[in-house]
Amino acid sequence: MIKKDLANLGEVHNGERIAIIAHAGILRLALLCSLGLPLSYYWRFVLSNTSFTVLQYRENVFNLAVLAVLNDYSHLSNR
């Protein structure tokens, strides 16, 4: 379902920036789907509260993502 929804977002918003705000579990699944990784990698990604992760896609190629930023929480001054 997540893979299908991500592809749909990419088609509808081709060339645009998209923000997905969700719990870490959903975001981990989105990372796996986008990077073509198996479910066994699920716990290999740490996603802290309020962190952001950036995936970059080529235009018109929604299944080839590049992980540009992972778990960035530098906006929090006390961490």
Segments making up each domain of the chain, as ranges: 2-72
Give per-residue pLDDT as tens, 43-52: 999 999 999 9
- The first and second tokens of residue 2, run together, are 């997540």
Spell out the residues 6+ positions from residue 13 whose beta carbon is closer than 8 angstroms to its own.
none
Q: Are 52 and 72 in contact (CB under 8 A)?
A: yes
Who wins on pLDDT, 70 or 59? 70
Residue partners of 16: CB distance under 8 A and separation at least 6: none
Does the pTM surpass 0.75? The reply is: yes
Query: Which residue reads 């592809």 in tokens?
Result: 7
Read off the pLDDT of residues 22-34 as tens digits, 9 standing for 90 and up: 999 999 999 999 8
Q: Are 29 and 21 in contact (CB under 8 A)?
A: no
* Identity of the amino acid at 34: S
